Chains A and B, each alone.
Chain A
């Protein structure tokens, strides 16, 4: 299955509606946490929000996560080494107070297993690339994480 999440704080109808349009073309079910949005999806199972334990279970089962560009969502994906597609919220469209998600997306753009869709038109391509990366993903951990763990281990041992 594919999990769509926009967090729990704010709705993100532009992403939910775009995914609702794409859902019939996907070869697996889409389950969505839509937050306090207004759009009612027709082509996927959607809840405003899931309990943390239920959400955790969905994350664990997902082949792919599609999300707003929130660090919490990226961390959830990272925990299970699941590919993630990020679409940033835009302040000028009333989707957030400021454009920090644009900055987050720009910083994360070229990281392993992270794919950025700047807007709705980029979603199909980003999803395709992310699914392909998930298929071929070797189970090794990302290099930045390994590097940070090594630095901590060395500090603990008194470097």
Chain B
């Protein structure tokens, strides 16, 4: 049994994580999100609130990164997973630095190009998946199925 920490933004990112939740069965799962209300609505038990941010707002991003560090140190996950966006990226970053295995799944909404968070994560995470076969480069970005 692995201890999994999933960090995702609200809206479609969270919906995609919940669609994939079958993959977490039998493991210990912690979910952090800026939208814990939506997480409860979609059946996530005990979602952990975390601040939202995007990478274009440095002050918010710094606050978010600090919160991500605190969560990763508290939870001490074996695996960190995110379907986006920036808050998930920071959890992947700290997870990687603190010894967890890290998986980035870029949102299915990005059909033309990987998100900015995804492009950054592709340099940091152990594995980076796009949900569109035509965006995989077979090296840093791979394709392994899609929620749609």
**Interface residues of A, Cβ cutoff 8 Å to B:** 52-53, 56, 71-72, 74-76, 78-79, 100, 103-104, 107-108, 111, 114, 142-153, 155-158
Interface contact B27-A156, CB-CB below 8 Å: yes
- Identify A148's interface contact among B4, B18, B20, CB under 8 A: B20
Apart from the given pairs A75-B16, A145-B147, 13 other A-B contacts in the complex at a CB distance below 8 Å: A52-B38, A72-B11, A74-B148, A78-B148, A103-B112, A143-B145, A145-B20, A145-B145, A146-B145, A148-B23, A148-B146, A151-B145, A152-B81
- Identify A147's interface contact among B11, B22, B132, B145, CB under 8 A: B145
- Identify B19's interface contact among A107, A108, A145, CB under 8 A: A145
Q: Classify the secondary structure of A's interface with B.
A: helix
What's the minimum C-beta distance from B7 to chain A, rounded to whole angstroms? 15
What's the minimum C-beta distance from B103 to chain A, rounded to whole angstroms? 5
What's the minimum C-beta distance from A156 to chain B, rounded to whole angstroms? 5
Q: A52-B41, A148-B20, A152-B20 are in contact. Are A72 and B144 (CB under 8 A)?
A: no
